[in-house]
Amino acid sequence: MDHLSVEKSVRTNRLGFHYFRDVENFTSTDTKKWVDLFLDFNAKWLIVQNPRNRAIPEYFIKSFSDAKINIIVDFNLTSHKDIDLSEIEPLLNVYGKWGVGYSNLCLQPNAKAFWGENLWNSVDIVEAHTSSFHNFAKLCIDKNIKPIFPPLHPGSDYWDLAFLERSLSFLKTNPSNSIIDSIVLSAYGWDWNLPITWNANGKNKQSTIKPFGERNSSKDQLGFRNYEMYLKISEKVFGKKLPIIIFEAGIPNGKFKDSEYVKEKRETNITTIIGLLAGNNIYDPQNPSQILSPIAKEVLSCNFFVLSVHSEEKYLPYRWFNLDGSPTHLTSSISPSLFPHFQNSYNSRKKEKISHTQFKYNRYIYFSHSLMEEMSALLEILDPYIRKFKPHIGFSLMDAEKAAHILIITGDKDKFTSDDSQTLSNNSIIRIIAPLELKNLMEELKL
């Protein structure tokens, strides 16, 4: 199908990102930097994780909302026992006034870990979750916020397709089913290192949907196109396809294991998804004579993981931007053709930067978090260096980027990519070494 020859029903500006996961970045400086970047990148959606027991600052939300960027507040509850709507209602009340348009309560309620052993074996988990979601949805609607049915773990302990179908059926039969017109579905955009064509139009769907039992993994609906099965289920239950938001696109799955990160596949899949989101004709990378099916018009937004990372090492390979807002290698490789305005704007800002940066620290020693247990021994080796240069020492990339000279000590130099070095500063002098190289460094410096 030629996407360009059909009626332009595809939505524009469906691109979004997940905000920082490992630290709160809500300062006015952070806010301005990322709002400007979103505008340059023409991204119109942001999923931000709500801090525990307090609200996201008003100026942060309003800055994005005033820029016509859709805010999705994710309460990110990973356990049923943590659901307390009396604590959430005041937050929804102010969020609705500040411009939040969407909210999600929890994650993966079809997983046994969400319930714990006792509840898993003693209650109807679908009915229990649907009841909680129904109450949450009513609160959201009262505050002019659209409730998001939480993302389910593909497959999992209670099969996601069966869980979703039963949940929607419960909502349909509820006497106060007025929430149905406001519900937005969600799905993980994990690709499982599979091509984007995997399971397109449900071609790998099993013939029967059962909550439990063994399933042939080759027939499961794993893959980026998993959302298509959710749309079909909503059409089966309600007679129409509900709108849907994609979470955590651009990663294999939610495990964040090094062995599951394949750079080449990720770059190909991300480039393909972004092209499809824009409504372009995209040819199948595996079969160049075939044009890929478009992303369904019911997809409101596709949110990539993750905008940037502060210090959580397992997230580092997946970030799109460095802490200073500069693009990572992946972003730089795709932005000239797909986002020319961003590339031009970024290059202009880069030229305008003051050539002589005023550093807060002269030297900083950055240790990777994996070396915490070895700190005592490493500091003993570094003692001559510390006594001579009096560096600041820590595990914070944000602090390290304020130093003129940065010594990075990591147990895996290959993992600490050029992107990580670029994150720290374009003007810093940076050296990356392994713990076993410290003694050689002391000899080199004659210490």
What are the tens digits of pLDDT across the range 89-117?
999 999 999 999 999 999 999 999 999 99
Range with top average pLDDT, 105-114, 217-226, 357-366, 414-423: 105-114
Describe the strand order of the beta sheet including 361-367 as a list of residue ranges.
392-394, 361-367, 403-409, 429-433
Tell me, what DSSP letter sits at residue 204? T
Residue 175 has pLDDT above 80, yes or no: no
Mean pLDDT of the chain: 86
Q: How far is CA 428 from the centre of its chain?
A: 29
Select the more confidently predicted residue: 382 or 357: 382
The three-state secondary structure class of 261 is: coil
What does each C-alpha distance from 319 to 17, 61, 151, 260, 425 come to in angstroms? 10, 22, 21, 16, 17
The CA distance from 219 to 18, in Å, is 29
Each residue's pLDDT tens digit, 256-302? 887 777 888 898 999 999 999 988 899 998 888 999 999 999 999 99
Q: Are residues 88 and 169 in the same domain?
A: yes
Task: Count Cβ neighbours within 10 Å for each residue of 323-343 and write b for 16 or more, e otherwise.
Answer: bebbbbebbeebbeebbeebb
Query: Rounded mean pLDDT of 222-236?
Result: 95
Residue ending a domain, among 352, 373, 394, is 352
Residue ending a domain, among 319, 352, 385, is 352
pLDDT of residue 350: 59
Q: Are residues 374 and 317 in the same domain?
A: no
Torsions phi, psi of 379, nearest 5? -65, -30
Query: Rounded mean pLDDT of 239-254?
Result: 96
The CATH number for 385's domain is: 3.40.50
pLDDT of residue 325: 87
The three-state secondary structure class of 8 is: coil
Residue 252 has pLDDT above 70, yes or no: yes
Q: Are residues 286 and 373 in the same domain?
A: no
Q: Are residues 47 and 181 in the same domain?
A: yes
Q: Are residues 280 and 373 in the same domain?
A: no
Model confidence at 401, pLDDT cuts 50, 70, 90, reads: confident
Residue ending a domain, among 304, 326, 352, is 352
Q: Are residues 275 and 368 in the same domain?
A: no
pLDDT of residue 91: 96
pLDDT of residue 190: 96
What does each C-alpha distance from 95 to 31, 79, 145 come to in angstroms? 17, 23, 8
CA angle 423, 426, 429 (to 5 degrees): 100
Contacts of 230 (CB under 8 A, 6+ apart): 161, 164, 185, 187, 244
pLDDT of residue 7: 39
CA angle 163, 165, 170 (to 5 degrees): 95
Q: Are residues 92 and 207 in the same domain?
A: yes
On whether the CB atoms of residues 105 and 149 are closer than 8 A, the answer is no
Q: Distance between terminal CA atoms of the chain?
A: 68
Residue 108, exposed/middle/buried by CB under 10 A (0-12, 13-18, 19+)?
A: buried
Residue count of the chain: 447
Q: Are residues 58 and 185 in the same domain?
A: yes
pLDDT of residue 75: 97
Q: Are residues 298 and 383 in the same domain?
A: no
Each residue's pLDDT tens digit, 42-85? 899 999 999 988 899 999 999 999 999 999 999 999 999 999 99
Model confidence at 41, pLDDT cuts 50, 70, 90, reads: confident
Beta strand residue intervals within 213-286, DSSP E? 244-249, 283-284
**Percent of the chain residues topping a pLDDT of 70:** 84
Q: Look at residues 347, 348, 323 and name the one whose alpha carbon lies nearest to residue 398.
A: 323
Number of domains in the chain: 2
Q: Are residues 277 and 418 in the same domain?
A: no
Q: Are residues 368 and 318 in the same domain?
A: no
On whether the CB atoms of residues 270 and 304 are closer than 8 A, the answer is yes
pLDDT of residue 297: 95
Q: Are residues 271 and 375 in the same domain?
A: no
Model confidence at 10, pLDDT cuts 50, 70, 90, reads: very low
Query: Rounded mean pLDDT of 400-410?
Result: 87
Write the Ramachandran bin of 417: left for phi over 0, alpha for psi from -120 to 50, otherwise beta.
beta
pLDDT of residue 313: 81
The CATH number for 83's domain is: 3.20.20.80
Residue 5 has pLDDT above 60, yes or no: no
**Percent of the chain residues topping a pLDDT of 90:** 57
Residue 247 has pLDDT above 70, yes or no: yes
pLDDT of residue 23: 75
Strand partners, 48: 73
What does each C-alpha distance from 73 to 35, 41, 77, 270 come to in angstroms? 16, 21, 12, 24
On whether the CB atoms of residues 402 and 364 are closer than 8 A, the answer is yes
Model confidence at 133, pLDDT cuts 50, 70, 90, reads: very high
Tell me, what DSSP letter sits at residue 11? P
Domain containing 397: what range? 361-444
